[in-house]
Amino acid sequence: MVFSSVAFLFYFFPISLLLYYAAPRQWKNAALFLISLVFYAWGEPIYILLLLFSTIVDYLNGRLMERYDQQEKLRRLILIGSLIVNIGVLGFFKYAGFLVLTMNQSFGTNLPLMELPLPIGISFYTFQTMSYMIDVYRRKVAAQRRFIDFGAFVSMFPQLVAGPIVRYDDIAQQLQHRRITLEMFAEGIRRFIIGLGKKVLLANNIGLVWDMTQSDMSHLTTFGAWMGIAAFAFQIYFDFSGYSDMAIGLGKMLGFSFPENFRYPYIAASASEFWRRWHITLGFWFRDYVYFPLGGSRVGRGKLLLNLFIVWFLTGLWHGASWNFVLWGLYFGLLIGLEKLWLEPVLRRMWKPLRHLYLLAAVLFGWTLFAIEDLPSLVHYLRVMIGLGGEGWINEANVYVLSNNRMLFFMLMVGSTPLAARLANYWMRSTRHQTLYAIIELLTLALILYGATAYIIDDTYNPFLYFRF
Amino acid sequence: MTKTRARLLVICFVGFISVLGLWSAIKPDRTMSEFENRVLASFPSFTLEKLWTGKYTEQLEDYVVDQFVNRDMWVGVKSDLERLSGKAENNNVFFGKQDYLFERFEAPMDMLDKNMNQILRFAERQQAHFDSISLLMVPNAQSIYPEYLPPHAIATDQAQPPLMAFITKQLGGTVNIVSLLQMLTEHKNEQQLYFRTDHHWTMRGAYYGYTAFAESIGISPVPLEGMQQHLLSEAFYGTYYTKANQRSTKPDRLELLDPSLPKYEVCIKGSKGCSPSFYHMEALQERDQYKVFFNGNFPIVNIRVDHQDKEKQRSIIVFKDSYANAFIPYLAQHYTHIQMIDLRYFRFQLDRYLAEHPADDILMLYSVTTMAKDDIFKWLN
């Protein structure tokens, strides 16, 4: 069930709220666990067992580690066992087919392919349980003794299928005691509606432009190629960050504070900065559990490059079992490596708009690697982008698409910057007409919700982009 | 956020989602949406297997979307928002000038190739048994009125005239191809040849189709002037309207041009009795008023006309889609027996049927859209 659907918004969520708030305090986590299981089973009736398996195994591992608190070797063994199970599950369901295919292609073997559908959200929840186990091992957090609470953490529906990746550490406190205030609930609603609008009104609509570009690669023009990949860049950002907004908003309505996941990535001025603003929780995860343990950047030049390679290889691979994602990850690793070694001083001296231009070009190039899976099409697309081998610079169809989406492109561009939020904030703080501000804010939110509802009901195009994560 | 503001937001939001959800759940289900002209999803039946495969929840999601309270209003709001945001289309229907709606036409060539081969095979086999085998292709409205498309939209729409030229080149040697483009274009400013809100041609458009066909097989067409004109409806909302969902669109006029005929009867194979008229006035009470012609489409319809003239003692078989329905009344001025066959529903062995029901001429009357998209010509062979 996606958040931007009638079934979720008008049935599942109101009923969940009712159950959750009707439950007495000591039963709230149980209610949340149950609601989340129903939410997951709704879309994955079979794989719910896998989620439960993961939950039970790491609950038990956590308890075991606590029991043998004094035996360092045993604790290590438990950690390794848990990681093997988690990575094994992820590897089997997400990467086995890919591995077999790659083996067959490179070595001419003929291993049989198993076509298993990928369990939704598996990359998110296995990363969460792994962070839990590692943190317990590092004694950063105490093991959770109550199964229900642990289950509520792993399966918590707002962030289950598309993040943010909430670590146990982030919400351990809140699982035991949380105070839900009216203000927090209202703030959650505001956040949810903004996220819903980003997904349904902006991302879905601009996604059509990318779809159209992709479906007719033979008549590509240079302008069309740039417009197409820009459309994809907008789609994935507004879809993904919209999803995170909705998750954070839903979390707030239930009394949880999730970590932020996006901070206007497209206003970054370097690749390193981009990744501090894009899918922040994933970046932190790899930093804390892979990059730092490997020694981080306080190592020799050779080791640094190796570390960057490992981290960015894995980051790319996390996004899907296909080589183009690996390529995409390594590409960013390379850029960040170059920036760390040489580019940073150069960039710092550069005129600021030029730095942004560098980043945008770098990101758009990156998105072509991400979005176009087969190599010949990718090469063709890139060639057309620089004016080679396409059907000219621009054609009438491009003009039509641009003119049709002019308002949308404008809103997407403004929405990619903190401009609107800052203006609203400034106005709220400085105005003497607080009531007027409140009314306008309420009306805006109502309008977004109203429009989004209309688009959800005439649901011609409402994709879920993270089925490969 | 102050307490009052927070309270207001919570009440509005929770109220909105729970009231609309509850209302949708308790209001009676609709089986059909007149506005969108389609059957709405009904409550899915439960089986364990459907639950395991995820099919049940999928159907349940379709159900709640289709049965949402005031669905028609929401669908209209979406269309308005598309228009407001500067888009010249909604659900693949262009908002044209002069209140014209057009559907974007896109078709891969392989289906057209397949269909042409089927027609060719059929024509080569049957050629000897008939005086003439003709193909009349009806172009879509934007081929005749391209100037009414929104600016630049034409570039995203696949043009039909080149397709028609291609078909003519491929089949012209075997089949008598009746070209309509010129004829329709010549007369396009006299009167409306296509509906603005529907994909069909008007009876006036069909008249020029008839003229072109008649001339191509050496019949002199009866002039329009002698026919009786009746205005049947000024509130016809066609298929494009149900896709574009713009409530502000002006409705079409539905006009009847009735040729004067001797007594005739229309017999739908498989149904009881025959009708003394082509026109089915009850259809004017429905959404799809184009059904006024023949009350829709049927596998086989037999029309017998009491002509006394010797040169009209002829019969014709018409393979057709719904475009023929507005065309047949004119044809009836020249034949005592017309057999209309709709291949979408016709499931007999065709060669045997033709041997048992001989005729003098064959006409295939199809829109270019049908020829390029529908996999129905396989039933010819």
Pick among A1, A2, A5, A6 to test the B interface (most B CBs inside 10 A): A6
pLDDT band, residue A410 (cuts 50/70/90): very high
- Comparing B26 with B35, the larger pLDDT belongs to B26
Question: Is residue A463 scored above 70 in pLDDT?
Answer: no
Both B55 and B108 in a single domain?
no
- Kindly report whether the global pTM for this prediction surpasses the value 0.80: yes
Given an 8 Å threshold on Cβ–Cβ distance, is B8 in contact with A6?
Answer: no
Same domain, A335 and A263: yes
ipTM: 0.86
One domain for residues B104 and B247: yes
Query: Average pLDDT of A429-447?
Result: 88
Cβ neighbours of A445 in B, within 8 Å: 9
The reply to whether A170 and A221 lie within a common domain is no
A396 pLDDT tier (thresholds 50, 70, 90): confident
* Residue partners of B373: CB distance under 8 A and separation at least 6: B107, B111
pLDDT at position B158 over 80: yes
Closest Cα in chain A, distance from residue B81 (Å): 8
Residues of chain B found within 8 Å of residue A45, distances taken between Cβ atoms: 51-54, 57
pLDDT band at B338 (very low <50, low <70, confident <90, very high): very high
| Mean pLDDT, rounded, for B328-334 | 94
Residue A222 domain-assigned (yes or no) = yes
What residues 197-216 of chain B have any CB closer than 8 A to a CB of chain A? none
Q: What is the DSSP letter of B279?
A: B
- Choice among A165-179, A455-469, B96-110 with the minimum mean pLDDT: A455-469
Would you say residue B81 lies in a domain?
A: no
Contacts of A225 (CB under 8 A, 6+ apart): A213, A381, A384, A385, A390
* Domain identity same for A197 and A153: no
Same domain, A158 and A261: no
In a domain, B114, yes or no: yes
Handedness of CA B33, B34, B35, B37 (dihedral sign): positive
Residue range B220-232: mean pLDDT, rounded: 90
Reported as a single tens digit per residue, the pLDDT across A256-267 is 999 999 999 999
Option in B14, B17, B74 nearest A458 (CB) = B74
List the domain range (segments joined by +) for residue A361.
Answer: 184-457
- Asked if the model's pLDDT at residue B1 lies above 70, the reply is no
- Is residue A300 pLDDT above 80, yes or no? yes
The 10s digit of each residue's pLDDT in A342-351 is 888 888 888 8
From A6, A42, A183, residue closest to B6, measured CB to CB:
A183
Same domain, A207 and A165: no
Residues B17 and B115 in one domain: no
Nearest to B163 by CA among B115, B114, B216, B109: B109
The percentage of chain A sitting over the pLDDT mark of 90, rounded to a whole number, equals 54
Q: What is the pLDDT of residues B192-201, one digit of tens each?
A: 999 999 999 9
> pLDDT tens digits, residue range A27-55?
999 999 999 999 998 888 888 888 999 99
For residues A66 and A207, state if they share a domain: no
What's the mean pLDDT in A63-92?
A: 89
Q: What is the DSSP letter of B290?
A: G
pLDDT at B184 (0 to 100): 93
Is residue A295 located within the same domain as residue A265?
yes
Q: How many domains are there within chain A?
A: 2
Domain termination site, one of A178, A213, A246: A178
Residues A394-416 have a mean pLDDT of 92
A319 is catalytic: yes
User: Are residues B370 and B267 both part of a single domain?
Assistant: yes
User: In this predicted structure, what is the pLDDT of residue A237?
Assistant: 96
Domain membership of residue B132 (yes or no) is yes
- pLDDT > 70? residue A462: no
- Dihedral sign computed on CA atoms, order A443, A447, A449, A453: positive
Residues B329 and B372 in one domain: yes
Q: Are residues B163 and B249 in the same domain?
A: yes
In a domain, B106, yes or no: yes
- Does some domain include residue B90? no
Note whether B52 contacts A: Cβ–Cβ < 8 A: yes
The residue of B26, B61, B109 whose CB has the most chain A CBs within 10 angstroms, and thus the best one to mutate to test that interface, is B61
A7: chain B residues, CB-CB within 8 Å: 60-61, 64-65
Looking at residue A466, what is its pLDDT? 64
pLDDT of residue A427: 86
Q: How confident is the model at residue B48 (pLDDT cuts 50, 70, 90)?
A: confident
Tell me if the bond preceding A164 is cis, omega within 30° of 0.
Answer: yes
**pLDDT for res A429:** 84
Q: Are residues B15 and B138 in the same domain?
A: no
Stretch A102-107: mean pLDDT, rounded?
80
**Contact yes or no for B122/B380 (Cβ under 8 A):** yes
**pLDDT surpassing 90 at residue A1:** no
User: Which position among A279, A319, A356, A380 bears the catalytic label?
Assistant: A319
> Which of A10, A37, A187, A219 to mutate to test binding with chain B, by most B CBs within 10 Å of its CB?
A10
Are both B189 and B319 inside the same structural domain?
A: yes
Q: A263 and A139, same structural domain?
A: no
Q: Phi first, then psi: what are they for B135, rounded to 5°?
A: -125, 120
In a domain, residue B144? The reply is: yes
Share of chain B above pLDDT 90, in %: 57
Domain boundary among A143, A178, A213: A178
pLDDT at residue number B137:
94
Q: Tens of pLDDT along A302-325? A: 888 888 899 999 999 988 888 889
Q: Are residues A240 and A169 in the same domain?
A: no
H or E segment and range at residue B235: strand B228-236
The answer on A197 and A154 residing in a single domain is no
Range of the domain at B160: 99-380
Q: Which pLDDT score is estimated for A366?
A: 94
- The mean per-residue pLDDT over the stretch B264-288 comes to 89
Same domain, A329 and A252: yes
- The predicted-structure confidence for A263-294, as pLDDT tens digits, reads as follows 999 999 999 999 999 999 999 999 999 888 88
A114-142: per-residue pLDDT in tens? 777 778 888 888 999 999 999 999 888 88
Domain count, chain B: 2
Whether residues B211 and B141 share a domain: the answer is yes
Residue A462 within any structural domain of the chain: no
CB contact under 8 A, A454 and B75: yes
Q: Is the pLDDT of residue B244 over 70?
A: yes
Range in A422-436, B171-185, B258-272, B317-331 with the lowest mean pLDDT? A422-436
Encode pLDDT of B93-142 as tens digits. 999 998 999 999 988 888 999 999 999 999 999 988 999 999 999 999 99
pLDDT at A465: 65
What is the C-alpha to C-alpha distance for residues A332 and A312, in angstroms, rounded to an integer?
7
H-helix or E-strand containing B101? Answer: strand B101-103
Per-residue pLDDT for B147 more than 80? Answer: yes
**Residues B63 and B109 placed together within one structural domain of the fold:** no
If phi > 0 it is left, if psi is from -120 to 50 it is alpha, else beta; for residue B294 that is left
Burial A380-409 (b: 16+ CB within 10 A, else e): bbbebbeeeebeeebbebbebbbebbeebb
B84-92 mean pLDDT: 88
What was the pLDDT predicted at A72? 86
- What average pLDDT does chain A have? 89
Q: Least CB-CB distance to A10: which of B1, B20, B151?
A: B20
Same domain, A255 and A393: yes
Residue A465: inside a domain: no
Per CB-CB distance under 8 Å, the chain A contacts of B246 are none
